[in-house]
Amino acid sequence: MQSFRSEIENPIVEKDIIDLADKIQLFHEGKIDEEKFRSLRLARGVYGQRQFGVQMIRIKLPYGKVTSDQLHRIADVSDEYSRGRLHITTRQDIQIHYVSLDRTPELWAELEKSDITLREACGNAVRNVTASETAGVDPKEPFDVSPYAHAVFQFFLRNPICQELGRKFKVSFSGTDDDTALSFMHDIGFIAKAKVINGEEVRGFKVMIGGGLGSQPRFADVAFEFLETHKIIPYMEAVLRVFDRYGERSKRAKARLKFFIKDVGLEKFNEIVTIETKALSHQTVAISPEGFDTPDVSGIVAPKVVVNEQAFNAWKNSNVIAQKQEGLFAIGVKVNIGDFYTKEARILADLVKNYAGDEVRLTLRQNILIRHVREDLLPFFYQELEKLGMVDLGYESIQDVTACPGTDTCNLGIASSTGIGDELGKVLRSEYPQFADNKDLMIKISGCMNACGQHNMANIGFQGMSVKSGKLVAPALQILLGGGILGDGQGRISDKVIKIPSKRGPASLRLILDDFIANGNGKNFIEYYLAQGEKYFYDFLKPLSDVTNLVDSDFVDWGNEEKYEKAVGIGECAGVVIDLISTLLMDSKDKLTNAEESLEEGKWSDAIYYSYSAIVNTAKALLTAKGKKTNTHHKIITDFNEVFVAEGEINVGSDFEAFVCQIHQHEPSEEFAKYYLKESRKFYNLIEEYRATKLEEA
């Protein structure tokens, strides 16, 4: 721990990292309950792998922006703590694998030297804020959404209202009506809009609410057709406060915001959000677009090169995008299933620093976009990228297959997604070169139903499954067709058509594409699919689903040598499971400390929310001791009232719900923050005394 204490300049970050190190030690000593430790660890980007004793580290990179210095830092960390491989995710993060848990604080401290965080990259918090990778350079955008995505990231990072939600919360910013950041599948999705009000152009967003994929995909509802930029953070804060209080916590499969909105209805949901607005830390939050200007690349000089004109032109047509800034271009680098290595990363970092705008953007389809390249430097970039093997055609086309890590490292993986992804890529490159420039077709693959590969919104999607053949089990793929982006917050969820053994995945793709070529009649894939109908595809794919004629190779998954075995990965190392009630009360004490610190710093809203969380967590401890379900904060409050207060066992001086819910009846002032903290501390002490008495009686 001491090795990184003196190297972290930001005291908030230092406290965060030291806290992780301390909690790891307490976990090893059996002093923290496993579930509580998992929650803390995940909120700091540390995720258990399928392989025993090692962790996946998710590096949070808001809207996919990475500078040269940051890319060098990530490469150094990967070499030192991992195996030198970097994986780009569908949320514009970078993941590294096979990291020792005990080294994660040190790893995090190294990343923070280049202003890179792990905080809330995983867990039940606001995940990485994603955005169109072309934000700031797209000729069609009304304005650059990058400053707004950045402001949302900063405002909710470490914000007490969203540290222990019932489930993860995802946010996106699309720069145009093309909706390239997929607003319709997010908890909150923003689409840039501009309108003229009183003769002046006003920036705002169409706001989508309550979307999500997973096993039960749901399209987001329209919350606002136009919401001014200074209102987006307060609205999101109100939504998060409501989600924290009413969101499901016990039944994981029902814990996303989309289920709560579905249950209560959009109108009722909006009413609850409106009630919450009085408690907001700010009624408006102005967001400045400054600091995101186009860098000056006019003075850059690069060596003159001679390239193969035919190959260069093919690459330029396929992978190069004209920016809205005259004379500048963005270069798309296709990264096969999102995996690249530190050697290439360092060279790429130097290229963008010396010859472009000193940044790249990671894309939602697991690629890299180099921005702000002068036209006369494109041949030089082609030559240098060719040396790295990074000039494959088909950037963001059907040949650019998206896949999650699947059974390579993920505990939840059922079948290999990277293996079949590689194989389908080979089929597309060798047999269907005419699709290299087709950017209207998407193939996406997930290793399980959780849809990290976004398979159920793809034109052609594959989901990892298993299938029985007699007494044996083989890896399988669910084929989904007809999904995709329709634009301006609209989309289509793909239909589940048929399940086939995994080794027949390439054959299924050939059948689908051959029929599309023969019968597409100029339609895009969604139109073609809808015209033919689901049964049409089921019928011609049905022979591939026959499991009575499987051969030995069908029982070995793609990229593997051993016979397939459906299994969840080995669980993580757990210390001795101790008194959960004590763990919850210890957590309440931590929240009271956080409230005191926030009060000293003049952060009234934060202090109030920490006090609220301490009250609810303390009540949860007693309800847990009684064996009561604690599915939502709202249920904890009402049940504690019924079980302890109404029965006269505990006296809080009023109805417990009224006592707790003062939080949204007062504006966040210093006076109320001090009062509420005092009441929260009194309640905690009351429960400590009550529990001590009960333990003594027992």
The CATH classification number of 402-555 equals: 3.30.413.10
Q: Tell me if residue 282 falls in helix, strand or coil.
A: coil
- CATH architecture observed for domain 309-387: 2-Layer Sandwich (3.30)
Query: Which pLDDT does position 698 carry in this prediction?
Result: 63
Domains 309-387 and 402-555 share a fold: no
Q: Tell me if residue 190 falls in helix, strand or coil.
A: strand
Give percent of the chain above pLDDT 70.
Answer: 97
Closest CA to 396 of 328, 347, 331: 331
Q: What is the pTM of this model?
A: 0.91
DSSP string, 113-182: TTT-B-TTSSSSSB-PPEE-TTTTT-TT-SS--HHHHHHHHHHHTT-GGGSS-SS-B-EEEESSTT-TT-
Contacts with 608 (C-beta within 8 Å, 6 or more apart), sequence order: 279, 595, 663, 668, 672, 673, 676, 677
Longest CA span, the chain: 88
Query: Which pLDDT does position 565 carry in this prediction?
Result: 79
Query: Which pLDDT does position 674 carry in this prediction?
Result: 96
DSSP string, 224-247: EEEEEGGGHHHHHHHHHHHHHHHS
Query: Which pLDDT does position 7 carry in this prediction?
Result: 63
CB atoms within 10 A of CB 26: 16
CATH superfamily of 130-279: Sulfite Reductase Hemoprotein, domain 1 (3.30.413.10)
User: Distance between CA atoms of 370 and 641, rounded to whole angstroms?
Assistant: 57
Amino acid (one-letter) located at 9: E
Query: Which pLDDT does position 573 carry in this prediction?
Result: 27
**pLDDT single digits (tens) 112-122:** 999 999 999 99
Q: Where are the domains of the chain?
A: 2-112, 130-279, 309-387, 402-555, 580-697
Angstrom CA distances, 648 to 37, 529, 661, 677, stand at 34, 64, 20, 24
User: Distance between CA atoms of 589 and 379, rounded to whole angstroms?
Assistant: 61
Query: Which pair of tokens denotes residue 462?
Result: 């594959």
Contacts with 37 (C-beta within 8 Å, 6 or more apart), sequence order: 23, 26, 27, 575
Burial of 244 (0-12, 13-18, 19+ CB in 10 A): buried
**pLDDT single digits (tens) 596-613:** 999 999 999 999 999 999
CATH class of 580-697: mainly alpha
> What are the start-end ranges of the H helices in 282-395?
309-319, 342-355, 378-387
Amino acid (one-letter) located at 194: A
Query: Which pLDDT does position 302 carry in this prediction?
Result: 93
**pLDDT single digits (tens) 323-332:** 999 999 999 9
DSSP string, 381-425: HHHHHHHTT---S-TTSTTS-EE--GGGT-TT--S-HHHHHHHHH
User: Distance between CA atoms of 447 and 653, rounded to whole angstroms?
Assistant: 53
Q: Which CATH number fits the domain 2-112, given the four candidates 3.40.30.10, 2.30.30.90, 3.90.480.20, 3.30.1330.90? A: 3.90.480.20
Residues (pLDDT < 50) of the chain are: 1-2, 6, 568-578
Query: Which pLDDT does position 120 carry in this prediction?
Result: 94
Query: Which pLDDT does position 572 carry in this prediction?
Result: 33
